[in-house]
Structure 1
Amino acid sequence: MDHWGEIEKLIVARRADRLAERVKALDEQGRKEVAARLPELLKELRGRFDRWDDGLVDYGSALRVAGAGTFGGAAAVASWLYRRDFAPQWDGPDTDVALVLAVLADRPAAWRADLAERLVLRMRVPDDRGMELALALLRETGIEPPPHEPLVAGWVSREPPRSLSDDPLLDHLLPRLFEAQGVGRALQWEKQPQRGWLGALLRAAESGRAKRESLIDGCVRRFLLGGTAIDLRFFVRLHEALDPSPAEAAARARDYLRLLPASPGPVAELAVKRLRACGELGADDLAEAWESLLFRPERKLVRAGMSWLDRSVRRAPELAGLIAAPLASAFAADSAELQEKAVELAVAHAARMTEEGRATLREAIELLPPHLGRRAATAFAGGSVAEAEPAFVPPPLPAAPERAVAFAPPIESVEELVRDGTRSWQAWERRLAGFVALAARDRAGVVAELRPRLIGGPHWTYHLESWDQVDQWFEGATRSLTGTAAAQRAWLRYMPKSRLAAPLRLLLHRAAEILRAVEEDTLPPLLLATPTHSTGHVAAAELVRRLEVIEAAGAKPLAADLQQALLRLPRTPDPEAMRRAARLTSGAGRIVAAWTCPEVAIELEWRCSHGGEDHDWHDRSHHHDVRLVPSATAAPTGLPLVDLMLSVPEHSGDAEHRAWWPSMLPSHREVAAAYLTSHVLRRYWVEDTVGPEQARELARAEGPVGTAFAVVLARVLGDPRLPESVDVLLETAARDELPAAEVGRQTGLLVAGGEVRMIDMIAGLEAAARRGAHAHVWRIAATALPTLLPAPGERPRNGLAAFVALAAAAAEWSGARGEIPEVRAMAARRGGSGLLREIRRLHDLLTGDDGQEG
């Protein structure tokens, strides 16, 4: 009888249900025949699809059923069932488990038990494809599952049986529930005691099928094993649903005590609750519990520990001898509220403390802010600590690094010319200068070296509508020089027609005029605008020397190159260089001789747009789209690109090579900063904003600083990804060039507008204050506070109390005095929140009332 022919037709037709019936009817010889032919059929089916095609998956159920019913050994069946080509892991749970079980039903019990173990040990994750079949076989055979953590997580990842008490796996897997990794994450969303595994386990405990004591012990054991809050969330809920009695808690008191120092917050809270309820703790256990809690970082737990300590000592005054060490830990808390509460408790119970405890607290007083330290000192040191040095003395500002160093010379070889790209403005300037100098000095030699590298290469650049990047223009220049260009007059054809930011337009004009000079064979012997210093400056004497070289060669300087060179001249005049320039006969020489650095006034406005209309920044009801809009006022110079650069148009357009802009305006840093302000605010379609490198280049440039520089510095200072921004602030402050009040105003606006997180701004400012800029940080914070403080009835911003605490610390370190009206008004409000306490402390410090008690 042809068993195989009928089996093959059913597999090809993908009729797994009928196939199961047919396979069960096969005799031993028929099974062997089918088993021998299956690999050949699989190979044939696989050949119908591409390597990456998933069409073979459609035959998976039929192939699995055929193999499960015909292969002889359990190992062979296990391997066949989960071949990757027709049962990939990503294909979801099996839908043919019942059919597979049906064709396995007549196998010997030991054989099926062997298969069950093999399938279990193949599991790697709780949602493994084979989990359903493995669990079903374990339930059918009744064997003890092998120890395998993914199996336990897989068991609980599925809905529990309607009657968990009747599940054969319960006795085997329940003890492992509290030990296997992955169980907590699989059950983290279980919340309802009436549903899911939480409800099933509670019902099993009520019926006696699972021992209540075992479940409580299992939870505590799991807590002691450790894990994240997510890993332990389910076990916390199960433990609380079981609600251990005071007697049950007392029996596990030592375990609960072990959980207090380092377990996740929810677990520690649970332990506190049970320990306080059991009421049978000895003095040593209480001291251990309080010290563990008051040393933790979570404010909620520290407050709970203080409340427990206070009530216990009031009920049993003899316990006062145990509280010094825990309270000393709380003196170092990162919350002024907790420090104040700790001092309050220490003072309240001081009379009952031992001399050893009082000494412990005296040593810890230096951890407190001065106003609390003086209060504690009055109680524990007779007031002598009030004159002690503060716990932290900020260092002086570090010296500013050198503003500029010599710029690297131009590229000097064709090999270097080809290898170096446009990764930075420095590399671009060296490459551009090297190309011009090499071509002017030995055009034939450069062509001979470059042409073999370019001939036959792709010309995709010439298929673009415009060249928006400088390296495209550079390629055009090299191809024009070597005669491999795909188009003539490219300098005219490919200049972008779209709106460009002025610095980008200057960059492209410089590149385009070099391409034109190559085409027209009018390249000068060198460029004028190549920097002489790392800031981007060109020394006046060097600029005049270059003009002399060009004039001696009978050449003409390039127009955009000259205008960029003028923008790079230092602000301080060089009379001797100007006299030399005046002796030149070229028009460029006369321009340089008459040049004085233009003065530019920059204004920056915050605008909020809604419905196509601009609204005042402070009108929060229309605060949808926020923009920074710069404007500039400068006397025209008559040089078109210079005037364009100094005008700062409101709509700057495309911003390619944005990081290069500060180096193009090294004597006008506020103008350069104004261009960058359009890219300071976060936009969902732009991943990167202005970074610390641009801020550092602005800090080392010359010229006045104002609102534009301040907003750039404030923005990078509040970016947690840019810790080096603190160095920029310190460097600017060390040169006495930091507009601290304006940085503070922009800080307040950036935080209020959600552009910068309060916590990140605090971190940056605190780092700066601790490294010597405490006086500057105070001015920044003092100016930001009026914007950040909430109006009456308005909810304070998250982290504002910490910002006020930082302001107070900076004020204290710098000896600041002088009332701030907004701080005074808020300090007069009713309430006892942490923010109000910090505000009152700041107000008292500024007005001379430091809270010292007489």
Structure 2
Amino acid sequence: MDHWGEIEKLIVACQADRLAERVKGLDEQARKDVAARLPELLKELRARFDRWDDGLVAHGSALRVAGAGTLGGAAAVASWLYRRDFAPQWDGPDSDVHLVLGVLADRPAAWRADLAERLVLRMRVPDDRGMALALALLRETGIEPPPHDPLVAGWVSGEPRSSLSADPLLDHLLPRLFEAQGVGRVLQWEKASGKGWLRALLAAAESGRVKREALIDGCVRRFLLGGTAIDLRFFVRLHEALDPAPAEAAARARDYLRLLPASPGPVAELAVKRLRACGELTADDLAEAWESLLFRPERKLVRAGMSWLDRSVRRAPELAGLVAAPLAGAFAADSAELQEKAVELAVAHAGRMTEEGRATVREAIELLPPHLGLRAATAFAGGSVAEGEPAFVPPPLPAAPERAVAFPPPIESIEELTTEADRSWKTWERLLAGFVTLAGRDRAGLAAELRPRLIGGPYWIYREESWERVEQWLEGAMRALTATAAAQRAWLRYMPKTRRAAPLLLLLHRAAEILRAVEEDTLPPLLLATPTHSTGHVAAAELVRRLEVIEAAGAKPLAADLQQALLRLPRTPDPEAVRRAARLTSGAGRIVAGWTCPEVTVELEWRCGDEGEGHDWHDRSHDHDVRLVPSATAAPTGLPLVDLMLSVPEHSGDAEHRAWWPSTLPSHREVAAAYLMPCVFRRFWGEDTVGPEQARALARAEGPVGTAFAVVLARVLGDPRMPESVDVLLESAARDELPAEEVGRQAGLLLASGELRMIDMIAALEAAARRGAHAHVWRIAATALPILLPAPGERPRNGLADFVALAAAAAGWSGARGEIPEVRAMAARRGGSGLLREIRRLHDLLTGDDGQEG
């Protein structure tokens, strides 16, 4: 009889249910025949479909049933059932488990047990294909499952059976429930009110099918194994639903104590709850618990520890000798409220402490802010304030580093000229200067050496609509020099046609005019604008010397190069250089001789969306398109690029070479800062914003500082990825060039806009204050506070209490006095929040109080 023909038709027709009935009726030899032909049929079916077509998947159930019912060995069946080509991982759970179980039913028990074990060990994640079949075979065979974490997670990934107590797997897998990785994440959303595993386990414990003690012990054992809060969430809920009695908690007290120092917050909270209820802890156990809790980072747990400590000592005063170490540790808490509470408790129990405990507290006083340190020192130094004053005294400002160092010389070799260089402005200036100098010495020789290096190189730059990057222009200049260019008059053809930021246009014009001079053979022997100092400045004497060289060679300086050189002259005139320039016969010499640094007025406007001046954008995040719109005015010089640079047109948001812009205006740093305003706000995830390198360049440049510089500095101070921004603040302060009030105002506005986080700004300002800029930090904080304090009925910003605490510390270190109206008004409000306590303390400090609260 031709069994194969009928089997093949059923597989091709995808009739898995009829196929299962047919396979059951096959004798042993017929099964072997079918098994031998299955691989060839699979090959034929696979050839009918594209590799990405799911047509073969449609035949999967039929193929699985045929293989399960005819293949001989358990290993062969396990491999066949989950072949990727007809049962891919993303096809969802198996829908044919009952059919596969049916054709396996007449297999020997030992064979099916072997298959079950093999399927279990193939599992990698709880929802792996084959999980349902593996669990069903385990239940049918009754064997003990092999130890495999994904199996346990898979067991609980679906709803439990209507009667969990009758599940044959319960006794085998329940102990592993508290050890297997992945179970907690599968069950993280379980609640006792639902119909899931939490309720099922509680019902099994209530019926006596599962021992209640085993579940409690399992939860505690799982807590001790560790894990994240998500991993342990289910076990926390199960533990609390079981609600261990005080006697049960006392039996596990040592385990609960071990959970206090480092377990996730919810686990530590339940441990505190059980320990406080058991009432049978020794003095050493209490000391261990308090010390663990008061060192925790979570404020809720620290408060719980302090409350426990205080009540225990009030009930049993002899325990006061244990509180010194925990309270001294709490002096380092990151919350002024917690520090204040720790000092309050230490002072309250000081009279019952041992001398050793009092010494422990005295050693920790330096961790406190001044006003709290003074209170603690008074209580723990026998009333001698001078002896107990806080140890921290802000140091003086560190000396500012040199404003500038000598600029490195131009490159001098072909190798350097053609080596892929970094994208810094200093490297590019050296490359341009080196190219012009080498070409001036020996144009033909340079072209001969460059040509072999350029032939076959990238011509893609000539397919661009415009050249936005300076390296494209340098590439074009070298190709023009070596007669390998793919286009003529490239200097005109590839200049961007649409608006660009003025600093970028100046860079591109300088590069384009070098390309033009190469094409027209009018290249001067050297450039004028190559810096002499690391700030970008060009010394006046050196500029005149370069003009003399160009004039002696009978050449003319390049126009954009001359205008950039003028913008790089120091603000302080050099009379001797002026006299030398006046003796030159060229027009460039006369321009330099008559040059005076223009005075520029820079203004900055905050706008929300397209709305104009006066729009109330406060309390809006930058998702509402808060923008900084700069403008500048200066007397015209008659030099087009100079006038363009000093006018700061509104469109200045180009990204290319933005980090180079401070070097183009080293004597007008406020103007340079204004050009950086479009990159203060982060519009998209991962978008670059101003960084500390630009802030440092502005700090070392010359010229007045104002709102734009303050915005840049405030922005980088509030970025946790830029800790070096504190050095920029200190450097500006050391030169007496820090506009502290304006930095404070802009920091307040940036915090109010949602661009910066309070916690990050506090960290930077505190670091600056502790390194000597405490007076400057006070002025910054005092100016920011009126912007940040909430109006009556308005919810305070996160972290504002800590900002006020920092302001108070800086005021104390600086000896600041003088009432702030907004602080006075808020201090008069009713309430006892941490923010109000800090505001009142600051107000008392500024109005002449000694800083101690009544």
The answer for the alignment partner of 1:372 in structure 2 is 372
Could you state the TM-score of these two structures normalised by the residue count of structure 2?
0.95
Indicate conservation of the 8 Å contact 1:631/1:649, yes or no.
yes
Indicate conservation of the 8 Å contact 1:608/1:622, yes or no.
no
Q: CA deviation at 1:348?
A: 3.2
The answer for the alignment partner of 1:503 in structure 2 is 503
Rounded to whole Å, the distance in 2 between the matches of 1:218 and 1:45 is 51
The answer for the alignment partner of 1:249 in structure 2 is 249
Rounded to whole Å, the distance in 2 between the matches of 1:27 and 1:361 is 87
**For 1:334-377, what per-residue CA distance to the aligned partner results, in whole angstroms no more than 9, with x for missing partners?**
32222222233333344444555445444444443333333334
Question: Residues 620, 480 of structure 1: CA spacing in aligned structure 2 closer, same or farther, 3 A cutoff?
Answer: same
User: Where in structure 2 are the equivalents of 1:443-592 lying within 5 Å?
Assistant: 443-592=443-592
User: Where in structure 2 are the equivalents of 1:84-123 lying within 5 Å?
Assistant: 84-123=84-123
The answer for the alignment partner of 2:381 in structure 1 is 381
**For 1:163-189, what per-residue CA distance to the aligned partner results, in whole angstroms no more than 9, with x for missing partners?**
212211111111111111111111111
Runs of 5+ in structure 2 lacking a partner?
A: none
The answer for the alignment partner of 1:723 in structure 2 is 723
User: What SS does the aligned partner of 2:606 have?
Assistant: strand
Q: CA deviation at 1:539?
A: 1.6
Q: Does 1:230 align with 2:235?
A: no
Amino acid at match of 2:731: E
Q: CA deviation at 1:310?
A: 2.4
**For 1:383-423, what per-residue CA distance to the aligned partner results, in whole angstroms no more than 9, with x for missing partners?**
12554342322233222222222222222233322223461
Rounded to whole Å, the distance in 2 between the matches of 1:537 and 1:185 is 60
User: Where in structure 2 are the equivalents of 1:391-410 lying within 5 Å?
Assistant: 391-410=391-410
Rounded to whole Å, the distance in 1 between the matches of 2:593 and 2:661 is 26
Indicate conservation of the 8 Å contact 2:396/2:772, yes or no.
yes
Indicate conservation of the 8 Å contact 2:373/2:390, yes or no.
no
The answer for the alignment partner of 2:748 in structure 1 is 748
Question: Residues 376, 404 of structure 1: CA spacing in aligned structure 2 closer, same or farther, 3 A cutoff?
Answer: closer
**For 1:180-199, what per-residue CA distance to the aligned partner results, in whole angstroms no more than 9, with x for missing partners?**
11111111111343321111
Q: CA deviation at 1:665?
A: 0.7
Question: Residues 434, 10 of structure 1: CA spacing in aligned structure 2 closer, same or farther, 3 A cutoff?
Answer: farther
Rounded to whole Å, the distance in 2 between the matches of 1:196 and 1:520 is 84
**For 1:737-777, what per-residue CA distance to the aligned partner results, in whole angstroms no more than 9, with x for missing partners?**
11111111111111011110001111111122222222221
Q: CA deviation at 1:108?
A: 0.9
Amino acid at match of 2:314: R
The answer for the alignment partner of 1:131 in structure 2 is 131
Rounded to whole Å, the distance in 2 between the matches of 1:9 and 1:700 is 84
Deviates more, 1:68-77 or 1:78-87: 78-87
The answer for the alignment partner of 1:339 in structure 2 is 339
Rounded to whole Å, the distance in 1 between the matches of 2:453 and 2:73 is 65
Amino acid at match of 2:508: L
The answer for the alignment partner of 1:268 in structure 2 is 268
Q: Please, what is the CA RMSD of the aligned residues?
A: 2.4
Question: Residues 374, 305 of structure 1: CA spacing in aligned structure 2 closer, same or farther, 3 A cutoff?
Answer: same
User: Where in structure 2 are the equivalents of 1:295-374 lying within 5 Å?
Assistant: 295-374=295-374
Deviates more, 1:699-708 or 1:546-555: 546-555
Q: CA deviation at 1:798?
A: 0.4
Q: CA deviation at 1:505?
A: 1.0
Q: CA deviation at 1:653?
A: 4.7
The answer for the alignment partner of 1:202 in structure 2 is 202
User: What SS does the aligned partner of 1:647 have?
Assistant: coil
Q: Percent identity?
A: 88
User: What SS does the aligned partner of 2:609 have?
Assistant: strand
Indicate conservation of the 8 Å contact 1:420/1:427, yes or no.
no
Indicate conservation of the 8 Å contact 1:269/1:301, yes or no.
yes
Question: Residues 331, 760 of structure 1: CA spacing in aligned structure 2 closer, same or farther, 3 A cutoff?
Answer: closer
User: Where in structure 2 are the equivalents of 1:169-188 lying within 5 Å?
Assistant: 169-188=169-188
The answer for the alignment partner of 1:799 in structure 2 is 799
Rounded to whole Å, the distance in 2 between the matches of 1:76 and 1:831 is 75
The answer for the alignment partner of 2:654 in structure 1 is 654
The answer for the alignment partner of 2:704 in structure 1 is 704
Question: Residues 432, 375 of structure 1: CA spacing in aligned structure 2 closer, same or farther, 3 A cutoff?
Answer: closer
Q: CA deviation at 1:796?
A: 0.9
Deviates more, 1:422-431 or 1:382-391: 382-391
Q: Does 1:167 align with 2:153?
A: no
Q: CA deviation at 1:613?
A: 5.5
Rounded to whole Å, the distance in 2 between the matches of 1:52 and 1:561 is 60
Q: CA deviation at 1:23?
A: 3.0
Question: Residues 10, 578 of structure 1: CA spacing in aligned structure 2 closer, same or farther, 3 A cutoff?
Answer: farther
Amino acid at match of 1:603: E
The answer for the alignment partner of 1:616 in structure 2 is 615
User: Where in structure 2 are the equivalents of 1:658-807 lying within 5 Å?
Assistant: 658-684=658-684, 687-807=687-807
Rounded to whole Å, the distance in 1 between the matches of 2:174 and 2:402 is 69
Rounded to whole Å, the distance in 2 between the matches of 1:619 and 1:232 is 41
Deviates more, 1:495-504 or 1:79-88: 79-88
Q: CA deviation at 1:64?
A: 2.8
The answer for the alignment partner of 2:146 in structure 1 is 146
Rounded to whole Å, the distance in 2 between the matches of 1:164 and 1:309 is 44
User: What SS does the aligned partner of 1:485 have?
Assistant: coil
Q: CA deviation at 1:308?
A: 2.1
Rounded to whole Å, the distance in 1 between the matches of 2:491 and 2:141 is 82
Indicate conservation of the 8 Å contact 2:621/2:755, yes or no.
no
User: What SS does the aligned partner of 2:830 have?
Assistant: coil
Deviates more, 1:92-101 or 1:662-671: 92-101
Indicate conservation of the 8 Å contact 2:619/2:753, yes or no.
no
Amino acid at match of 2:642: V
Question: Residues 347, 57 of structure 1: CA spacing in aligned structure 2 closer, same or farther, 3 A cutoff?
Answer: same
Deviates more, 1:140-149 or 1:79-88: 79-88
The answer for the alignment partner of 1:600 in structure 2 is 600
Rounded to whole Å, the distance in 2 between the matches of 1:743 and 1:730 is 13
**For 1:692-716, what per-residue CA distance to the aligned partner results, in whole angstroms no more than 9, with x for missing partners?**
1111111111111111001001001
The answer for the alignment partner of 1:839 in structure 2 is 839
Q: CA deviation at 1:782?
A: 1.3
Indicate conservation of the 8 Å contact 2:477/2:514, yes or no.
yes
**For 1:10-55, what per-residue CA distance to the aligned partner results, in whole angstroms no more than 9, with x for missing partners?**
4444443343333333322232233333334444444556667666
User: What SS does the aligned partner of 1:174 have?
Assistant: helix
Indicate conservation of the 8 Å contact 2:68/2:104, yes or no.
yes
Rounded to whole Å, the distance in 1 between the matches of 2:98 and 2:444 is 82
Rounded to whole Å, the distance in 1 between the matches of 2:38 and 2:385 is 89
Amino acid at match of 1:488: Q
Rounded to whole Å, the distance in 2 between the matches of 1:771 and 1:719 is 19
Question: Residues 456, 8 of structure 1: CA spacing in aligned structure 2 closer, same or farther, 3 A cutoff?
Answer: farther
Indicate conservation of the 8 Å contact 1:609/1:615, yes or no.
no
Q: CA deviation at 1:625?
A: 2.5
Q: CA deviation at 1:306?
A: 2.0
Rounded to whole Å, the distance in 2 between the matches of 1:685 and 1:345 is 46
Amino acid at match of 1:574: D
**For 1:550-584, what per-residue CA distance to the aligned partner results, in whole angstroms no more than 9, with x for missing partners?**
22222111111111111111112222222222221
Q: CA deviation at 1:683?
A: 1.1
Rounded to whole Å, the distance in 1 between the matches of 2:373 and 2:192 is 49
Question: Residues 174, 725 of structure 1: CA spacing in aligned structure 2 closer, same or farther, 3 A cutoff?
Answer: same
Question: Residues 614, 137 of structure 1: CA spacing in aligned structure 2 closer, same or farther, 3 A cutoff?
Answer: farther
Amino acid at match of 2:733: A
Indicate conservation of the 8 Å contact 2:325/2:357, yes or no.
yes
Amino acid at match of 2:184: G
Rounded to whole Å, the distance in 2 between the matches of 1:571 and 1:678 is 27
**For 1:292-350, what per-residue CA distance to the aligned partner results, in whole angstroms no more than 9, with x for missing partners?**
22232222112112222222333333433433333333333332222222233333344
Deviates more, 1:213-222 or 1:326-335: 326-335
Rounded to whole Å, the distance in 2 between the matches of 1:474 and 1:803 is 50
User: What SS does the aligned partner of 1:632 have?
Assistant: strand
Rounded to whole Å, the distance in 2 between the matches of 1:114 and 1:686 is 52
Question: Residues 717, 351 of structure 1: CA spacing in aligned structure 2 closer, same or farther, 3 A cutoff?
Answer: closer
Q: CA deviation at 1:503?
A: 0.7
Amino acid at match of 1:682: R
User: What SS does the aligned partner of 1:415 have?
Assistant: helix
Q: CA deviation at 1:203?
A: 1.5
Q: Does 1:439 align with 2:427?
A: no
Indicate conservation of the 8 Å contact 2:290/2:305, yes or no.
yes
